[in-house]
Amino acid sequence: MRTRKKASLSLSFHFILLFILLLAATSFFRPAEAQNPKQEIISLPHRLSVEIINKWELDPLLEQRGRSYFLVSSEKLSQLKQVFPSLRVETANFPHLFKPRVSPTSKANPLTQGGLNGAYHSYSETAAELKKMASSHPQIARLYILGQSLENRNVYGLKISKNPGLVEDEPGLALIGGHHAREWISVEVPLLIAQHLVDNYSSNQSIRNIIDRAAIWVIPLVNPDGLDYSIFNYRLWRKNRRLNPDGSFGVDLNRNYSFQWGCDNQGSSPNPSSDTYRGSAPLSEPETLAVSQLFQEHNFAAAISYHSYSQTILYPWSYADQPTEDEALLQWLAEQMSRLIFQVHGREYHPGRSSSSLYLSNGDFADWVYGLFKIPAFTVELPPVDFLSGGFFNPENDLRSIVEENLPAVLFLAEWVVDNYPPANHPAKIKERLEDQGKNLVKKKSKLLTGKEWP
C-alpha cells in the first residue's frame, strides 16, 4: 500500500515537472507574424541618373550627408550590390518606415491612432509620413534634412516640385510649422497640406500647375525636441530643449531669427527662464539656423509660418507697431486668404499687422523673411480663437476641418507666387526690362513681387 502511494506520488511529481517544462518551453515560442513584401533602403555616396533609377526601379527617398537614399525591393538587392560596390543597406536605420503607426493586433480605441498624442504626429511619426510621401511620389517630392536639433533629431524639409532633385528657376513657397512645441496643430496643417498636394497632383489641374511651376517647401516641424518633450513630459512646453547657462531650459525659436533680434525686451526676453527667451545670439539655435540656410540657398517668393492659437493671419512688422513699405500688398494677401478660409467652414481668421493685432515680438520668422528677403511672409495663428476655447488643445475631430479650411489659402498664395514670377528684381526680368527700355541697370533695393492680381 505504502509502495503504491509512493509510486503515485512520484508519478504525480513527474507530471507536474513535465507540465512546468512544457509551459516554460511554449512560452518562448510564438507564431511568425505576417509581413508585407520585403523592401530595403539603400544608400549610395553619389547621385544617380534618371535612367539608372528607372532601370533598377529605385524609389528616391532623401539625400543626407552626401549620400542618396533609395527604396528597393529586396529581390534586386544582391544584383545592385554587384553593380554598386559602395552600396550600403540602411533599412535598420529607418525603423519607422515599414512600421504601421498602430500595431495590427492593437485593441485600442480606433479614434486613438498614435498613443499619447492621439491623431497628432510626434517627431518620429512626422518623419515617417514625410519619408512615405517622398518614397511614394518620387517624381514630385524629395525629402531633405535641413539640419539637426540639439538632441540630434532631424529638421526635415519636403520639396514638392516637378523636378524635386533639380535646382530650377522657379519660385518657392515655404510652409513651416512646429516652431513652438505645444502648438501641435501647427505641425499637422503643413504636413497634411503636403499630403494633399502630392496625392492630388495627377488629378487636380490647379495643383499640377502650381507644382509644375513652383517649389513648395514643407517644413512641418522646426522644433522636434520640444514637440517630443511636450508629448512625453509637459504638454504646455513651448521652447526648444537648449540647456541654458543658468540651468533653465529652452530658447523660443520664434524669437531667435536674425532680423531685429532682441531689439527690445518687450518683444522677446533676455531672461533664459522666460517663455520668450530669444537665445544668446541671433540664429544661435541649430533649428533656426537650418531654416535660415534653406532660405539662403533657395529662391523663395513667399512663406507661411503656422502657430496657434487665436485665428489670425498676421503680417510684418511684428517687432514694432509700424507698417512695412508693402503694407497694402501684405494686407490684401492676408485678406484674400482670410476670405478663402472663411468660405470653407465659416471660421474667421482675422487679418492684420502682427504688432497691432497680437503683440510685439522681435526675432520672429515672418519679420525675418520679409526683412531679409523682401517677400510676403505670414504668421497664421490657427484655431481656437482664445485660451478658454481650448488654447493649444484642438479636438482630434477638428483637425481635418482646420486643414481643409487652410488649403485654399495656401493654393491661393502659391498661385499668386507662380503668377508673379519672376519678380521685378529677378535678373531675367531686369534684363528684359533693360532691353525694352534701353536703360542702364538700376541698382535699387529689391522690392516685393508685384503682380497683375495686386490691385
Q: List, by residue number, the catalytic residues.
A: 381
Count of CB atoms situated within 10 Å of the CB of 47:
13
Per CB under 8 A, 245 contacts another protein = no
Which residue lies nearer to another protein by CB, 178 or 316?
A: 178
Q: Provide CB contacts within 8 A for 342, sequence distance 6+.
A: 348, 349
Task: Please tell me whether residue 306 binds another protein under the rule CB under 8 A.
Answer: no
Is residue 98 at the binding interface for another protein, with CB under 8 A as the rule? no
HSE-CB at 84 with a 13 A cutoff on CA atoms is 19
Tell me how far, at minimum, the Cβ of 21 lies from another protein, in Å.
Answer: 8
Q: Least distance to another protein from the beta carbon of 211, Å?
A: 32
Q: What ranges in 93-250 are assigned the alpha helix state H?
A: 123-136, 185-199, 205-213, 224-232
Residue 72 beta carbon to another protein: minimum distance, rounded to whole angstroms = 24
Residue 228 region by backbone torsions, left for phi larger than 0, else alpha for psi between -120 and 50, else beta: alpha
Q: How far is the CB of 187 from another protein (least distance, A)?
A: 14
269 binds another protein, rule: CB under 8 A = no
The residue from 7, 8, 15, 17 that contacts another protein (CB under 8 A) is 17
**What is the distance between the alpha carbons of residues 281 and 262, in angstroms, rounded to a whole number?**
9
Which position among 36, 109, 203, 440 is part of the footprint of another protein (CB under 8 A)? 109
Instruction: Check binding of 349 to another protein (CB under 8 A).
Output: no
Task: Tell me which of 39, 73, 91, 124 binds another protein, using CB under 8 A.
Answer: 124
DSSP alpha helices (H): ranges in 27-122? 50-55, 77-83
Q: Does 35 bind another protein (CB under 8 A)?
A: no
State whether the Cα torsion 271-272-278-280 is positive or negative. Answer: positive
C-beta of 175: minimal distance to another protein in Å? 24
Site string for another protein, 378-397 (x = CB under 8 A): ------x--xxxxx-xxxx-
Task: Give the range of 44-52, 96-104, 328-336, 435-443 binding another protein by CB under 8 A.
Answer: 96-104
The string of DSSP codes covering 388-441 is TTTTT---GGGHHHHHHHHHHHHHHHHHHHHHT-S-TTSHHHHHHHHHHH----
**How far apart, in Å, are the Cα atoms of 17 and each of 4, 9, 227?**
20, 12, 52
Q: Is 37 in the site for another protein (CB under 8 A)?
A: no
Rule CB under 8 A: choose which of 3, 49, 82, 103 binds another protein: 103
Answer whether 157's CB lies under 8 Å from 217's CB: yes
Task: Please tell me the distance from the alpha carbon of residue 148 to that of residue 227, in angstroms, as a whole number.
Answer: 14
- Choose the binding region for another protein from 41-49, 116-124, 338-346, 416-424 (rule: CB under 8 A): 116-124
Distance CA 437, CA 426 (A): 16
Q: Which residues bind another protein (CB under 8 A)?
A: 9-10, 13, 17, 20-21, 23-24, 27-28, 95-96, 101-103, 105-109, 111-112, 114-120, 122, 124-125, 229, 232-237, 239, 241, 247-250, 384, 387-391, 393-396
